[in-house]
Amino acid sequence: MKRTVTRLADGRELIYFDRHDDADRGAVDTRELPPRPHASELRHDPVMDEWVAVAGHRQTRTFLPPADECPLCPSAPGRQSEIPSPEYDVVVFENRFPSFSFDLGRYEQAGGLSEVRPGVGRCEVVCFTSEHDSSFSALSPDQVELVLTAWADRTAKLGELPGVEQVFCFENRGAEIGITLHHPHGQIYAYPYVTPRTRQMLASAERYRERTGGSLFADVLAAERKAETRVVASNDYWTAFVPAAARWPYEVHLYLNRQVPDLCSLDAEERAAFAPIYTDLLRRFDGLFGRPMPYIAAWHQAPVHTGRDLAYLHLQLFSIRRAPEKLKYLAGSESAMGAFVNDVLPEEAARQLREQDGR
């Protein structure tokens, strides 16, 4: 694997990950780009004890351009994109419209009880393939392993940046989810705080350990493997199951069969075994209604500095589609109260997914 670091015209970092050492990455970005925006504001909600990023510059980000203007495709004669090279395997670069960055501006207190500070951190885009009309489910096993390598590399490097507390790798897929670019890609957020969901999970794991002496995540996995009714797929290294209290109509958690804190901790066998089971799951999702399934794929891994002995690396895959022509909207109960009501019985969702052909 070859790793090449370069810079875009406005100074943003771009990293090529190539399968072959002879890849030529000498192409230069000659575009005239506007100055990079300042970092967002972070405002603390004292009632919920949560941080909210306010990033007004993101209103101007690129929105669903035609295929021949896609900024994530390789550059071509007469058309330069975010990737200067005329071809690539996997590319990671700093987002042009970031929610967090180190380009600091002036920040003033908002008044009231809300503390305000700069949204220090970093946001990156991960291009899974140069093929515009492809998808993650269509990637070859070695291409998926290269994406895993990029995720692990960025998890390690971003975790070393000052002020970063958590690294989150994820993919949004489908217009229904709210994507702004159709090209197969994901994102990585390096947060300056530990996110509310992770704080809650680690607090639950700590209480469970104090009460039982065991690992909450490991015991959940063991119970699901024993019950079998919600297991969708498994191999020697990974197990995919619908959680018993699934919030989303179709939701699968993919657990490594041993406890590790993050993507950097995967060994060669575990990386190789991930591609077949994950792409199988994605194809099962697409097969449910005979059409591409909108989904969010979210890696849950340990924060940089805290809870690393409690965390358990796993991937959460879920869709808002509940029927062929129906979506689950987060209306009153979910949005206002955080109290989910699922439309599909988890055991039924698992059965439907098992019956799909993921090949």
Q: Give, in order, the Cα–Cα distances in Å from 278 to each of 8, 254, 285.
A: 32, 8, 11
CA distance 203 to 43: 23
CA distance 119 to 39: 5
Burial 152-171 (b: 16+ CB within 10 A, else e): bbbbebbbeeeebbbbbbbb
Q: Which residues are 238's β-sheet partners?
A: 256
Contact indicator for 260, 278 with CB cutoff of 8 Å = no
Among all residues, which ones are annotated catalytic? Answer: 185
- Which residue is it, tokens 């500095």? 305
CA distance 82 to 68: 13
Amino acid making up residue 157: K
- The crossing angle, in degrees rounded to 10, of helices 268-288 and 141-159 is 110
Phi, psi of 316 (to 5 degrees): -105, 125
Dihedral, CA atoms, 160, 162, 165, 169, nearest 10 degrees? -50
| Residue 22 buriedness (CB in 10 A; 0-12 / 13-18 / 19+) | exposed
Contact indicator for 167, 158 with CB cutoff of 8 Å = yes
**Do β-strands 116-118 and 41-45 pair in parallel, antiparallel, or remain unpaired?**
antiparallel
**Do β-strands 116-118 and 166-173 pair in parallel, antiparallel, or remain unpaired?**
unpaired
**Do β-strands 90-94 and 122-127 pair in parallel, antiparallel, or remain unpaired?**
antiparallel
